[in-house]
Structure formats: structure tokens, C-alpha cells
Amino acid sequence: NAGVTQTPKFQVLKTGQSMTLQCAQDMNHEYMSWYRQDPGMGLRLIHYSVGAGITDQGEVPNGYNVSRSTTEDFPLRLLSAAPSQTSVYFCASSRRQGRQPQHFGDGTRLSIL
Amino acid sequence: SQKIEQNSEALNIQEGKTATLTCNYTNYSPAYLQWYRQDPGRGPVFLLLIRENEKEKRKERLKVTFDTTLKQSLFHITASQPADSATYLCGCGNNNAGNMLTFGGGTRLMVKP
């Protein structure tokens, strides 16, 4: 079982560049989300989706875009990278029924120079 | 704003002892709490869920309590082993769409042989 797959694992960008972080899950989960993890700050929700075609903002959405055209994929786009976006990004998925555990990928480590 | 706090200092204990980790929340009334384990370079892995109407939940050597009066959850690992060394995250949920969680900053546990 692949679970939640994130690519790339590492990326270095220059300020102002754009890029897309990929996330795919093979569990047919309705819910998907993106978190960022910074030292001492825990995981903070960026955007989430409750199904194909439906997305919404989380706690820290500025500077990021998402779309969900299929159940499996939920890419995260950085429009114009800034040093403040240096972080580890985690994608997670869960079943629709409430209180379900989140299944996380192993993260993308992103550095913005 | 809602706040989830975990001890940011690492917890060092001897093998065989019970490790107790704390999760406190303020300005918040979670419907449930989830505990996750995170190893270096990996995504969080779900361990246990406890609902607001449950006082205690157990799974093998793990035990979680939920005290809505103290606004606190305790996570216990009995007969700890060096393999239990990891960072443990507390996530609070509210039956919202998307199953999104608000996480604490995590506590690093080091079990010494």
C-alpha cells in the first residue's frame, strides 16, 4: 500500500520562483489537506478539500493555491516563493466520516533562498 | 484564539519507566483528541483517538486520558523502550468538515537504555 505519496522530497527555490508540491493518495479518501510544520510551531493547516472540486482555506493560506480535480490528487502551488515559506510541508488524507485518523505523507522539505 | 500546548522541552526517561506527555488547550472545546507519533524525516502516524465523553482509552502499552474540566489530555507509555523515542503530537478536532485538526507543537521523548 502506497498510502499518501508526496513529491519531491526536497526542493530549493529562489525567492520569486513558483512551484507545485504534489500529493497523491490511493485509499479513495474524500478528505485531503496540506499542513506546514515549522520548529516549535506544530502543524498548521494551509488548505483542505472535502472532495473533488471543493477546496477551502485553513489557518495560513496566504501565498498558496490548491485545486482538486480528482479524488486521488491534491497539489499545492506556491505562486511566488518567499523565505518565510521555508518549511516542511505535509499532505494528509482521511475518510469522510467524522473523527477519522489523518494519514500523512513523509513530507516535502522546502528551502527558499 | 484557540491554542494547543505541549511541553516543548524533551522528556528523557529510563527504559522500563512510564512516560507521561501533556497536551493542554485553551479557548477551545475539542470534540476529540488524536495522538500521533512522528519520527525524524517522516510524517506523523496515528496512535489513538479519544472523544470528549471518554475519560480514558488504552491500546497495548499506550493510554490516553481526556479531562474536559482541566482542559487537558495525558498520554502515557508504560514499560517504555528505546524504540518509543520519537516526537509525539497532540491534535484536537471539532467534528468540522474535512476532519481538520489543530495541533500542538509536539514533545520529543527520549528513552535511554
How far off is chain A from B46, nearest CA to CA, in Å? 6
Other C-beta atoms lying within 10 Å of the C-beta of residue A5 = 14
The reported pLDDT for the residue numbered A1 is: 67
How far off is chain B from A102, nearest CA to CA, in Å? 7
Q: Which residues of A touch B46 (CB under 8 A)?
A: 101-103
Question: Which chain A residue lies closest to B47 (C-alpha atoms)?
Answer: A101
Per-residue pLDDT of chain A (113 residues; tens, 9 = 90+): 679 999 999 999 999 999 999 999 999 999 999 999 998 778 999 999 999 999 999 999 999 999 999 999 999 999 999 999 999 999 999 998 768 899 999 999 999 99
Contact B98 A44 (CB under 8 A): no
- The series of mean pLDDT values per 10 residues for chain B, 113 residues long, is 88 97 92 96 96 94 96 97 97 81 94 96
The reported pLDDT for the residue numbered B37 is: 98
How far off is chain A from B84, nearest CA to CA, in Å? 19
Burial class (CB in 10 A: 0-12, 13-18, 19+), A94: buried
Integer Cα distance of A22 and A74 in angstroms? 7
Is A113's Cβ below 8 Å from some Cβ in B?
no
Q: Which amino acid is at A76?
A: L
CA separation, residue B94 to residues A18, A112, B20, B81, B102 (Å):
34, 34, 24, 33, 9
